[in-house]
Amino acid sequence: MKLLTVGLLACCLLRPATAAELKVDLGHGQITWQTAALLKRDDVRTIEVPDDVAFHRAMHYQAVPLTALLHGIQASDHLQFVASDGFAAEIPAALLLNRKGSVAWLAIEDPAQPWPALPGHGSAAPFYVVWTQPQAAGVSSEQWPYQLASIRKLAAMSARFPALQPDPALPANSPVRQGFSVFQRTCLACHTLNGEGDAQVGPDLNIPHNPTEYLRADLLRAFIRNPQSLRRWPQAKMHGFDRNALTDADLDAVLAYLRHMAGRKATP
């Protein structure tokens, strides 16, 4: 009896407490995928990602084409990818449906073959959106969410978060408008602005103070390129944006947007 009890206890300790789950809600009922079911799909492939954004090296994954899990999405749809740590990537469906050669995959960690730890950030498991040929469609580094917990179809950000909008009187070719687009794909995954946004990783970028109000322009640029250049903090979560992730023109534009929004504070 004692040996049976010990054996049962060992089995319980070896068995994961809960199966990893990915929740997908496209507006017609939530579907929950578990690791085992995903790994048994007929469309699972072993893919190579030569320059992985998170691991900074070549990686191989068991993965399924992401669009295969998003039946019925249209190019006009807007999707939000939420990670377990509060990171919330906003990805337009048009990018996932692009015909330029960039392909989004849902990488699935096999519990029997766990991924290596991320440098300074723990595990990317259980699910990670990775891309092959990301440069073809201009996929940004913030559009590779890992520790993925859910995918939801939502209204466009202009409808959900009106306090993010720049002055509607600005001309269509304004650098501020370009900066707003850059902000949505690079900053909003971690930060809120004027109290609006779904991310829960970084601080608000306008309330109570906008970074353009308390940092010199050269220091703010340096901080965005390499946060550790301004303040060394090994536990910091923010990574830098090199020129491959954020061009000088895009950096100029997002700073123009932030300066503009410093004059459009809205109390949450």
DSSP label of 234 = T
In a domain, 112, yes or no: yes
* Number of structural domains in the chain: 2
Number of residues assigned to the chain: 268
In a domain, 143, yes or no: yes
Structural domain range at position 207: 158-261
Average pLDDT over residues 171-181: 94
* Cα within 13 Å of Cα(182), Cβ side: 21
Distance CA 171, CA 202 (A): 30
Write the DSSP assignment of 66-134 as a string of letters: GGGGSTT--TT-EEEEEETTS-EEEEEHHHHT-SSS-EEEEEE-BTTBPPPPBTTTB---SEEEEEESG
Q: What is the pTM of this model?
A: 0.78
pLDDT tens-place string over residues 108-128: 999 999 999 987 668 999 999
Q: Residue 143 pLDDT more than 80?
A: yes
Show which of 125, 154, 183 is a domain's final residue: 154
In a domain, 119, yes or no: yes
Average pLDDT over residues 12-16: 40
Instruction: Answer for the pair 130, 63: CB distance below 8 angstroms, yes or no.
Output: yes
In a domain, 127, yes or no: yes
Same domain flag for 148 and 256? no
Same domain flag for 29 and 145? yes
In a domain, 162, yes or no: yes
Same domain flag for 65 and 86? yes
In a domain, 66, yes or no: yes
In a domain, 28, yes or no: yes
Same domain flag for 110 and 36? yes
Q: What is the pLDDT of residue 204?
A: 94
Same domain flag for 187 and 149? no
Same domain flag for 35 and 135? yes
DSSP label of 198 = S
CATH of the domain at 223: 2.60.40.420
Same domain flag for 142 and 164? no
Q: Which of 7-21, 60-74, 236-250 has the highest mean pLDDT?
A: 60-74
Distance CA 115, CA 123 (A): 7
